[in-house]
Structures are given as structure tokens and as C-alpha cells.
């Protein structure tokens, strides 16, 4: 666990969320794969990536390639059925009431992210775009979150946009590609995380309800956060 020096006079100004398996109760790529009938192939690529045989950029490109030919309407139907994570709306409402700016940085796709961001009232949404031609997916993806360290670059740009330092920010995520922002944020909350992310987190939440984040934020005091304090929350 990296120590994070946080000045006692600083309050968090920006909270950044992941989307897949954090703000929503699904992985967008998996739901699209299900609609395209290629779930097993996508799972195989995901497993190869988890074992280090593929990096994030390669795994993303290979999985998206399998979606080639999927009608956009079918894709939209699939992602529109994805539910919010329990407690997502309540958490976003809470942080907004406390004056936080909110952002969502996702390696997922605008086809889902735009709706989720609008539904939750997220201030700033960043995600990737699936290319389309004549109403069908081309099996290609472009965007700002296509590499393993992309989230950190976007995070730093957002912090600059809102005139805050990364160490003034809270981040909430679950996946390996969130590690790069967990390392530089002031406070990192891992929500039902992949094992690799736990070591970067200040707090680990293993209950499937984002309302469990609220008491963490309520108790967050910079006076006692001169270094990372690792806590597991298993019940809410």
C-alpha cells in the first residue's frame, strides 16, 4: 500500500467512479457479447488478460472485434437492460449534496455510459466509442480509455479542469485498470474488487450496495489520513 500524504486542511472536491460493475450491475462488454452470441469467446479473452497473456489494449480490441456485425438496435436493447448497481443513485445524490463534482471514467462504451451518466446526473463522463456503419457495429473501438494507463491520464486532466489536485480526490472502482488512478488519488475505495486492486485501496467494500460508501465518506477525515488506512467493509 502506497502512503498518500494528504494535507489536513484539504477537502475532497472531486469523486471519480468506474462504470462497469461499479455504478452498474454488469460488464457492458459481456452484455454485448451475449447479444452477439459470443459470450464464451469473450470470456476466453478476458481470462487470457487476467493471466497476463494480453494487456488491456489487446484484450479490449480482441473482444470488441467479436462484436462486428451486431446491429446497433440490438446492442442498444442489450445495454438498456443493464441495471444500476444497488445504492448508486443514493450515493451520487449524497456526494452531490456534499458539494462534490462527479465524474465517471470508463473503459466501457458511450452506448451505455451516456445513459448511465444522464440517469445519475454525473457531471463529467468519459468512455470509449464503438464504431458504427450502416446501423451495424464495425468491431472497432476508439476513445480516451483504451490503454492500461489511460484512466490516470484522463483523471489528471479532469483534476486540472476542476482546479484540484489528484490527492484531493476520491476514486471508486473495481478493476485492474483502476489501479493507476488508485495510486495517485487522495482516497481510493475498492468496490467488490478484483484481487489485484485490493492492495491499492484505502477501503475495500465487499457488500454489493454502493450505499456502503456513504459512511466511509462521512467518516473520512484528513486529520487522520496522513497515510493510507486499509479497511474491509463486509456488511452494510
Helices (H), 133-194: 150-161, 179-182
122: in domain: yes
Cell of 43: 470470456
- What is the number of structural domains in the chain? 1
194: in domain: yes
pTM of the model: 0.88
Cell of 179: 489501479
210: in domain: yes
Instruction: Answer yes or no: is pLDDT of 234 > 80.
Output: no
Cα–Cα distance list, 79 to 38, 50, 73, 98 (Å): 16, 24, 10, 30
Q: 142 - beta bridge partners?
A: 129
The whole-number pLDDT of residue 196 equals 87
159: in domain: yes
2: in domain: no
Cα dihedral 148, 4, 233, 112, rounded to 10, equals -30
130: in domain: yes
Residue 208: burial class (beta carbons within 10 Å; 0-12, 13-18, 19+): middle
pLDDT tens column, 72-84 = 999 999 999 999 9
Beta carbons of 32 and 153 less than 8 angstroms apart? no
Beta carbons of 128 and 111 less than 8 angstroms apart? no
The whole-number pLDDT of residue 11 equals 54
Q: How confident is the model at residue 154 (pLDDT cuts 50, 70, 90)?
A: very high
What is the extent of the structural domain holding 103? 14-25+84-233
Q: What's 21's domain CATH number?
A: 3.40.50.1000
9: in domain: no
Active site residues: 18, 20
- DSSP label at 82? P
145: in domain: yes
The whole-number pLDDT of residue 5 equals 35
Amino acid at each position: 500500500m502506497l502512503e498518500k500524504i494528504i494535507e489536513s486542511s484539504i477537502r475532497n472536491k472531486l469523486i471519480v467512479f468506474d462504470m462497469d460493475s461499479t455504478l452498474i450491475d454488469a460488464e457492458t462488454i459481456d452484455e454485448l457479447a451475449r447479444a452477439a452470441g459470443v459470450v464464451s469467446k469473450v470470456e476466453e479473452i478476458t481470462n487470457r488478460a487476467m493471466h497476463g497473456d494480453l494487456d488491456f489494449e489487446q484484450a479490449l480490441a480482441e473482444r470488441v472485434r467479436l462484436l462486428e456485425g451486431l446491429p446497433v438496435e440490438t446492442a442498444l436493447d442489450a445495454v438498456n437492460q443493464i441495471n444500476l448497481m444497488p445504492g448508486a443513485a443514493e450515493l451520487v445524490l449524497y456526494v452531490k449534496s456534499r458539494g462534490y463534482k462527479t465524474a465517471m471514467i470508463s473503459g466501457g462504451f458511450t452506448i451505455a455510459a451516456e445513459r448511465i451518466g444522464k440517469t445519475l446526473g454525473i457531471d463529467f463522463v468519459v468512455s470509449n466509442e464503438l464504431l458504427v456503419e450502416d446501423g451495424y457495429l464495425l468491431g472497432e473501438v476508439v476513445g480516451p480509455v483504451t490503454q492500461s494507463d489511460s484512466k490516470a491520464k484522463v483523471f489528471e486532466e479532469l483534476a486540472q479542469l476542476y482546479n484540484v489536485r489528484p490527492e484531493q480526490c476520491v476514486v471508486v472502482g473495481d478493476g485492474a485498470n483502476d489501479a493507476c488512478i488508485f495510486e495517485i488519488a487522495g482516497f481510493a475505495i475498492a468496490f467488490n474488487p478484483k484481487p489485484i486492486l485490493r492492495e491499492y485501496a484505502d477501503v475495500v467494500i465487499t457488500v454489493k450496495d454502493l450505499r456502503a460508501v456513504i459512511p466511509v465518506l462521512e467518516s473520512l477525515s484528513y486529520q487522520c489520513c496522513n497515510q493510507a488506512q486499509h479497511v474491509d467493509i463486509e456488511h452494510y
